[in-house]
Chain A
Amino acid sequence: MRQTLILTWLLLCFSRALSAMPSEEARHLMARTGFGVNAMQLTQLSKQDYVSTVKQMLASHRQTPVTPAPDWVDRLPPLPAKRKNMSASEKQQLQQWIRNTAQELKGWWFQEMLNTDSPLTERMTLFWHNHFTSSIRKVRWPPFLYQQNLLLRHHALGNFRDLLNNIAKDPAMLIYLDNARNFRNKGNENFARELLELFTLGEGEYTEQDIKEAARAFTGWTLQRKTGKFRFARWQHDYGEKEFLGKRGQFDGDDIIEIILQQPQTAIHITEKLWWEFISATPDETEIKRLAAIFRDNNYEIKPLLRAMFLSKTFRDTGNYATLIKSPVELLVGTLHSLQLTVANNYLLVRAARFMGQDIFNPPTVKGWPGGTTWIDANSLLIRQQILEKLSHTLLTPTMVSQPMLPVDSQFKQLTQQMLLASPPTQPATATTRIEWIQQLLLDPVYQLK
């Protein structure tokens, strides 16, 4: 009897693994890992099985953008000597150039998010941007932020150790957290502090003294103005012995990073953040520890961790649907993607996201955007509704909603609801034409959820 039960259970699992996924699950997977799903994709995915879809999605991630680079990305900032001799109008011109290219950079990233064949890559790039934060506001040189964005994308689904080692030497980061000014005789602890507090271990896992010692190890890691690249200034480096997290040695930055990666807490901290991003607002300590162990056992490879997360029970649990809130970027890009809309100008998206609280390339603080329910307050909710309403007017131009004034039939109702909503609407839509129907779905509070 027991054997029969086990056999039946095994068969069910096996068949569940190989059978086509329900459309709700297809929508859930795409909303959580990408920017949502359009009608064609929904139909296609509903023929595929879940596990191989996840594997395929991870296998087809990108390391480079599809969108061509703006033409100014290799320009270097003027050297201090030159800057001093600039006239007032030249300085003004430079500031204007910085403002213009900052806008272009933001528009470029939205373009990438709209055009990519791997939304997961962009979601992970956004995740790392929110983790290894830097801002145009502080760095004041958009080309450096562009380079950092390429770096984050390159390693987004690669190896965390590589990502960490590279971001520590990234020009934008060297400026953002002042390590470019961290010298043997004039120390600056900013980078060391955030490295420990935000980027790896998290608060409470080290002492103030550890920060001071780590800062000493990173002295001389600076930016060469002439090339705009990392340079190790030997004469600015503190070669003395340091004591860090209980270990002693003449550590440099690379050594500090290696010691940090030996701590189990690092994997747990990163996994926790990914949990918050992709799975749930409620932490599950046991599950997080299990996933963190997978991360560490795979030598900090990110894909095995993501695979385990997207295949986990909690992620797939239907009770977990619609429990996370879409970020402004997800809301905008997702709406355009699902309804196959286009905007006249990407700057409209850049501005809309800023009004909703997400000015990309300008996280509010080094901690990034807190996310979760903080995306929605009395102010931002109104803005979101307003923008969605505006976007829905573009449905009147040729889009996937052909003949928008046509009456709705039950097939249309079912398809659009499955495509757009993570759970039943709070108020059942009553519209009779297609465009009004979609508008009602977009303005339902459930549309804010994924």
Chain B
Amino acid sequence: MQRRAFLKLIGSTPLFAYCPQLLATPRKTDWRRTLLLVELTGGNDSLNTVIPYSEKTYYQMRPNLAIPRDQLLPLTEQTALHPALESLLPQWHKNQLAIVQGVGYAQPNLSHFRSLDIWQSGSGSHEYIDDGWVARYFSHLKRPDNLLADGIALGRDYGPLQGKNFQAITLLNAEQFIRQAEHQQRMAATSANPALRHLQQVQQTIQHSALHLQTQLIAKQQVPEFPNTAIGRQFETAARIILSDIRVPVLKLNHGSFDTHVGQLTTHQRLLSQLAEAIAVFINTVQAHNRWDDVLIMTYSEFGRRVAENGNRGTDHGTAASHFLLGGKLPGGIYGHAPSLQQLTEGNLQYHVDFRCVYRSAIDWLNLGSSQPFSAFKPAVPL
């Protein structure tokens, strides 16, 4: 993807309105942990996911789309979950689910690509940064020799894992990957031709990762049966990697499309239940092997959606949204407050937590080194 790498800093608008204080964390490096980034592609309708059910306005503005009171899953007196997320309730009760409300950024962009670029690169609304935020973070780090890769994309694209000097592979099917890698030539990445050098680098990454997987990855039969959905398969591969004790700090998964302009209810229900089911099996699997404490799952999406439903029983692009963090060692609960449904900007919610505060929490949790691109942001959740 071609992006112009010039910087236009925004004006005097405060970057964030609310980011809770950082708790001091001991600075030690621990490459045993794995961060799972789950991209909800298309812009998840957060208002129907984490529901402000005590507000009359919610029902007024969504006569067709609001989730009926008798169906939703209340977490507190103000907030409820979409019924399709029932499988996540055990984590809520064990205090392992954190929900951050009102996540967004100043001067929001309502275009899929631009906003996804912003979330993936961890930039401001008017900055153009080519590399993903994970790649940017890793550019400061010295990696240990025993990593299989810096990151693995289990879905279709790299997103935040995209960047120079960030070794990432796509692993849609581990067995196939290993088989095919056997045919590759060995080579150095030395060409002056940038296109050829890119090819050589990819080839090297393949060689290295395939060897690792071949010797270490546990068989499919050694994990429980996962749901036969795209997201289910991705979580299955993630579980196998983690249980094999293979070191990969970051895994990226894709789920979607959440771009529900038309006929939202059934699509949204289906996507959320697929997600929750896959996560539930994943958590049970890693928990049974005592690895759940070393895992953090984080959702993100390019934007939320408008408060009012549109004329096609759907919703259009919006702004602030709630996102989930799940982990064995997590101070669960609800962070931030639900954006007001009355104080809207052109029909959209106002954000309270800059999304980079959530990234900051994930980086703090990974605990790989003190230098990082978001030191100016306070973590949304103290980890």
Contact = CB atoms under 8 A, between A and B. Distances in A.
B261 A190 contact: yes
Contacts, number: 120
Contacts of B158: 377
- How many chain A residues sit at the interface, stated as a range, is 35 or more
Interface stretch (B12-20, B24-32, B190-198): B190-198
B111 A193 contact: yes
Contact of A386 (B113, B114, B183, B209): B183
B93 interface: no
A379 interface: yes
B195 A197 contact: no
Interface stretch (B46-54, B65-73, B165-173, B371-379): B165-173
Interface stretch (B199-207, B214-222, B269-277, B335-343): B199-207
Contact of B187 (A186, A193, A382, A427): A427
B194 A281 contact: yes
A142 to B, nearest CB: 20
B354 interface: no
Contact of B180 (A181, A370, A386, A446): A386
B143 interface: no
Given A189-B316, A386-B180, A379 B195 contact: no
Interface in A203-217: 203, 208
B195 A373 contact: yes
B185 A376 contact: no
Contacts of B183: 382, 385-386, 389, 443
A426 interface: yes
A445 B199 contact: yes
Contacts of A385: 180, 183-184
A188 interface: yes
B370 interface: no
A323 B194 contact: yes
B9 interface: no
A118 B31 CA distance: 55
- How many chain B residues sit at the interface, stated as a range, is 35 or more
B266 interface: no
A286 to B, nearest CB: 16
Contact of B184 (A208, A380, A382): A382
A376 B198 contact: yes
Contacts of A446: 196
B196 A378 contact: no
B310 interface: yes
A377 B206 CA distance: 9
Interface in B236-275: 261-262
B172 A378 contact: no
A449 B196 contact: yes
A366 to B, nearest CB: 7
B2 A276 contact: yes
Contacts of B171: 378-379
Given A323-B194, A427-B185, A381 B114 contact: no
B11 interface: no
Contacts of A381: 199, 202-203, 206
A231 interface: no
B147 to A, nearest CB: 14
Given A366-B112, A376-B202, A181 B312 contact: yes
Contacts of A188: 261, 310-312, 316
Interface in B269-303: none
Nearest to A426: B187
Interface string A336-380: 000000000000000000000000000011110010111011111
B170 A377 contact: yes
B193 A322 contact: yes
A208 B156 CA distance: 30
B180 A445 contact: no
A268 interface: no
Given A373-B195, A379-B177, A367 B113 contact: yes
Contacts of A125: none
B111 A378 contact: no
Nearest to A181: B312
B262 A178 contact: yes
Given A186-B310, A372-B2, A382 B180 contact: yes
B181 interface: yes
A423 interface: yes
A370 B157 CA distance: 11
A193 B172 CA distance: 33
Contacts of B169: 377-379
B180 to A, nearest CB: 4
Given A377-B158, A382-B181, A386-B180, A323 B113 contact: no
A172 B3 CA distance: 29
Interface string A254-290: 0000000000000000000000100001010000000
B112 A448 contact: no
Given A325-B195, A378-B209, A382-B184, A178 B202 contact: no
A324 B177 CA distance: 25
A380 B1 CA distance: 16
Interface string A300-343: 00000000000000000000001111000000000000000000
Nearest to A427: B185
**Nearest 7 CB-CB pairings of A with B:** A186-B311, A379-B170, A378-B169, A382-B180, A445-B199, A370-B1, A373-B198
Given A208-B346, A374-B1, A443-B185, 10 more contacts: A181-B311, A185-B311, A186-B311, A188-B312, A283-B2, A324-B195, A372-B2, A379-B169, A379-B171, A448-B199
Interface of A: 178, 181, 183, 185-186, 188-190, 193, 197, 203, 208, 276, 281, 283, 322-325, 364-367, 370, 372-374, 376-383, 385-386, 389, 423, 426-427, 443, 445-446, 448-449
15 contacts: A193-B111, A281-B195, A283-B2, A323-B194, A367-B113, A370-B1, A377-B153, A378-B206, A379-B171, A379-B177, A381-B199, A382-B181, A385-B184, A427-B187, A449-B193
